[in-house]
């Protein structure tokens, strides 16, 4: 063959984008979670969402953040489909997350600093134009004039945003306004961490020693939720975080770079979120003088048969139900919430390599499967260290005057959280944990 006059293969960009969007949610929440993840990667601590309506339907959405302004490399990558973020510590790897905005609009506009860029379709090809502005803005914003008016559900958007803020590295505040009227503000606050001490901490590593935990910390997390003029709500959670050392041979590094187009990180972080501890002054605990009945009560509670343990009303919907891993099945997070359950009453976040739409962990490619299974393996060890250390603390706090037949609600909650059920849709997650 004579390739001196060879021609390049062309791509129908509209069909390519449409096929990518077929994997994404077309609701506001699906787009917002991608833009929040981009803001988090830029180091922003605040994201603001402004909705504009005609009648009762939304016609425009603006999403801004106060993170690092775009560099020339960022602008270049924005206009290249499938060029993921080359930074080893960032979540983006496919370079398609931003393109979810095309599920809402044909002509998105991005502004950062004194630069502004607009996209426009010309038949089946996507074009863009970029120019400088006279006034330099201190923020980054994405402007979406919707292709058609759309209805929106504040509760649905609120649930998505609450879930989106749980494991962010930098974003701690999200505000939503509609026609300039405040609708929602979500703020996450973290207490100072305390080190989890355990005799076997130095041995917490994945099955094939790709990951080794160097430190494990535990802290309280409070999520404040303000809906318009309604009374504010606060949800208390417990965050357990571990810093991991990454050890992979040269061959695995080479395979990963070929697939991901970027190197592996030298360290990684695994986070687990549990419900907050039961109140310090609960109602009188369940008591029985029959050891068999005591064991059955614990078992029933772990299986979800006993509905009232320390004052929770059956059928009551607690504030922030979408945040609680026991109320809404514990989920795996890859930056944002996925459809994969953990099988326990805890959420799990780690630098897993996901499927393109970031809804599931990727177990297809052998190299990605090995990485993801090793992360699950070490996460299981970290959860066990947390369980053992908390049980040890409870044992130390016990006195000789304690009723031996009383069910300690904190112990029951710990036990329940770590009674793993089948995981969905991929059972391998639970088996490896």
pLDDT at position 306, please?
39
- What string of H, E and C letters represents the secondary structure of the chain? CCCCCCCCCCCCHHHHHHHHHCCCCCCHHHHHHHHHHHHHHCCCCEEEEEEEEECCEEEEEEEEECCCCCCHHHHHHHCCCCCCCCCCCCCCCCCCCHHHHHHCCCCCEEEECCEEEEEEEECCEEEEEEEECCCCCCCEEEEEEEEEEECCCHHHHHHHHHHHCCCCCCCCEEEEEECCEEEEEEEEEECCCEECCCCCHHHCECCCCCEEEEEEEEEEEEEEEEECCCCCEEEEEEEEEEEEEECCCHHHHHHHHHHHCCCCCCEEEEEEEEECCCCCCCCCCCECCCHHHHHHHHHHHHCCCCCCCCCCCCCCCCCCCCCCCCCCCCEEEECEEEEEECCCCCEEECCCCECCCCCCECCCCHHHHHHHHHHHHHHHHHHHHHHHHHHHHHHHHCCCCCCCCECCHHHHHHHHHCCCCCCCCCHHHHHHC
Quick check: 4 pLDDT over 80?
A: yes
Encode burial over 108-131: b for 16+ CB neighbours within 10 A, e otherwise.
bbbbbbebbbebeeeeeebeeeee
- Of 351-355, 370-374, 405-409, least confident by mean pLDDT is 405-409
Average pLDDT over residues 281-305: 49
pLDDT at position 314, please?
41
Quick check: 200 pLDDT over 60?
A: no
46-54/173-178 β-pairing: parallel
Quick check: 85 pLDDT over 70?
A: no
| Bigger pLDDT: 293 vs 352 | 352
Whole-angstrom distance, CA of residue 338 vs CA of residue 51: 26
pLDDT at position 112, please?
95
Quick check: 302 pLDDT over 70?
A: no
Quick check: 28 pLDDT over 90?
A: no
Report whether 350 contacts 375 (CB < 8 A).
Answer: yes
pLDDT at position 99, please?
85
Residues of the chain with CATH 3.30.565.10: 7-188
Q: Confidence class of residue 86 from pLDDT cuts 50, 70 and 90?
A: low
Per-residue pLDDT of 233-258, as tens digits, reads: 999 999 999 999 999 888 888 888 88
Which residues contact residue 129 at a Cβ distance below 8 angstroms, ignoring those fewer than 6 apart?
Answer: 117, 118, 120
Q: Which CATH class is domain 7-188?
A: alpha beta
Per-residue pLDDT of 99-112, as tens digits, reads: 889 989 999 999 99
Q: What is the mean pLDDT of the chain?
A: 84
pLDDT at position 25, please?
63
Average pLDDT over residues 207-222: 93
pLDDT at position 8, please?
85
Quick check: 287 pLDDT over 80?
A: no
């Amino acid at each position: 063959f004579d390739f001196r006059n060879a021609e390049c293969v062309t791509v129908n960009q509209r069909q390519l984008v449409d096929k990518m969007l077929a994997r994404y949610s077309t609701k506001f929440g699906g787009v917002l979670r991608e833009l929040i993840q981009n803001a988090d990667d830029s180091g922003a601590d605040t994201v603001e969402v402004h909705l504009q309506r005609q009648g009762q339907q939304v016609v425009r959405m603006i999403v801004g953040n106060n993170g690092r302004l775009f560099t020339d490399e960022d602008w270049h990558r924005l206009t290249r489909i499938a060029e993921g973020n080359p930074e080893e510590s960032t979540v983006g790897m496919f370079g398609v997350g931003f393109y979810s905005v095309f599920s809402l609009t044909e002509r998105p506009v991005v502004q950062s600093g004194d630069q502004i860029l607009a996209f426009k379709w010309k038949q089946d090809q996507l074009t863009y134009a970029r120019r400088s502005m006279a006034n330099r803005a201190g923020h980054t914003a994405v402007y979406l004039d919707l292709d058609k008016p759309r209805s929106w559900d504040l509760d649905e958007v609120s649930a998505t945003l609450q879930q989106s803020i749980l494991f962010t590295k930098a974003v701690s505040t999200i505000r939503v306004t509609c026609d300039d009227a405040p609708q929602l503000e979500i703020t996450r606050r973290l207490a100072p961490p305390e080190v989890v001490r355990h005799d076997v901490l130095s041995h917490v590593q994945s099955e094939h020693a790709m990951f080794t935990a160097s430190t494990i910390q535990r802290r309280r997390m409070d999520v404040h939720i303000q809906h318009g003029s309604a009374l504010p709500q606060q949800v208390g959670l417990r965050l357990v975080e571990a810093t991991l050392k990454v050890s992979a041979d040269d061959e695995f590094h080479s395979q990963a770079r070929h697939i991901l187009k970027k190197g592996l990180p030298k360290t990684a972080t695994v986070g687990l979120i549990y419900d907050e501890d039961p109140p310090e002054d609960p109602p009188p605990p369940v008591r029985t003088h029959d050891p068999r009945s005591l064991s059955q009560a614990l078992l029933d509670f772990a299986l979800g048969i006993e509905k009232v343990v320390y004052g929770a009303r059956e059928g009551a919907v607690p504030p922030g139900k979408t945040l609680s891993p026991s109320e809404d099945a514990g989920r795996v997070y890859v930056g944002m919430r996925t459809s994969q359950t953990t099988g326990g009453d805890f959420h799990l976040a780690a630098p897993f390599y996901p499927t393109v739409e970031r809804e599931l962990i990727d177990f297809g490619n052998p190299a990605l499967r090995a990485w993801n299974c090793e992360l699950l393996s070490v996460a299981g060890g970290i959860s066990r260290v947390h369980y053992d250390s908390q049980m040890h603390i409870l044992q130390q706090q016990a006195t000789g005057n304690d009723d031996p037949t009383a069910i300690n609600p904190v112990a029951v909650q710990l036990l329940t959280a770590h009674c793993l059920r089948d995981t969905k849709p991929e059972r391998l997650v639970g088996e490896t944990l």
